[in-house]
Amino acid sequence: MTERIQLSADVPSEMDNERLDQIAAKLFPDYSRSRLQTWIKKGDLLVDGKQLRTRDKVFHGAQLSIDTEPEQAVGWQPQNIDLDIIYEDAHILVVNKPAGLVVHPAAGHPDGTLVNALLAHSPEMAQLPRGGIVHRLDMETSGIMVAAKSLLAHQDLVSQLQERTIRREYVAVCIGVMTGGGTVDEPMGRHPKQRKKMAVLVVGGKPAITHYRVTKRYGHHTRIAVNLETGRTHQIRVHMAHKHYPLVGDPTYGGRPRIPKGASEELIATLRGFPRQALHARALGLFHPETGEEMNFECPLPTDLQGLLDVLETEDPALNSDATLY
């Protein structure tokens, strides 16, 4: 029997006197605005147990409740695409996503995505919001991800992300030599002029917090470990560029490759030829949605990123003896 979608949330004071459809979109961000409007019109989304119109105003303290059957993820077809599965049970699936794989279908990538692969592996995930996806990695970012296989898991993992109890650690290679780690606490949003890019926005941005520590200094580069409190689009890439340490291989936020003076031919070729941003999701920690057990997963560095680090080790060595830090 298919699990029903049953959710509820109280209207906070900052949403007082807004339209029902606008409030619903903010309280239930994992569902599209059109789907929420359909549920309102069908009576599957109620306000204090009563059916209202999408344009009706709702006030602080009212309770929105949803009780409905899940719908098929329209247009998302199963495709036999290899998955590197780290862990799987009835509720969650942890995978190692390769660079170059888009997470879910969108404009420009209608298929051939991680979601298409997941639907072929576990067809029941088609009944879940976004095919079970609860967080994303950029197309050219590699590494570990968790997806939900049950509605219970989806709702619980979304809550863990909102409560910031899911631990995500990344490995990144930056241009420039950092003196130490730190925290970037700068709000982010869509770039005001270049809509495909994100940017630090003092006005109108959403909270974004990135913690980073130095793990290896090279002559002209730095390897860092990054932990996220929030999960904004392109967050690490934007925050590191904001600190003037953009990621190697990231033309969107770092411009053309920066070649150190006196670099060897091998180093020049490696920096110019590195095909993507040097960013890998190395570790993930969460609480199991059903048992509450704390679970931690790791995945190794991919070949291309390890190759970059090997070249930096030999062709861009640091002069100081404390180049490796922990």
Q: Give the catalytic positions in this structure.
A: 138
Tell how far CA 211 is from the center of its chain: 15
Q: Other CB atoms closer than 10 Å to residue 303's CB: what's the count?
A: 9
Are 155 and 70 spatial neighbours (Cβ–Cβ below 8 Å)? no
Q: Give the whole-angstrom CA distance, residue 276 versus residue 169.
A: 19
For β-strands 279-287 and 142-148, DSSP reports them as parallel
Q: Give the whole-angstrom CA distance, residue 246 versus residue 223.
A: 12
Burial class (CB in 10 A: 0-12, 13-18, 19+), 102: buried
Coil, helix or strand for 173?
A: strand
Are 131 and 76 spatial neighbours (Cβ–Cβ below 8 Å)? yes
Are 210 and 170 spatial neighbours (Cβ–Cβ below 8 Å)? no
Closest to 135 in 3D by CA, of 64, 58, 232: 232
31: DSSP letter: S
Phi, psi torsion values for 308, nearest 5 degrees = -60, -45
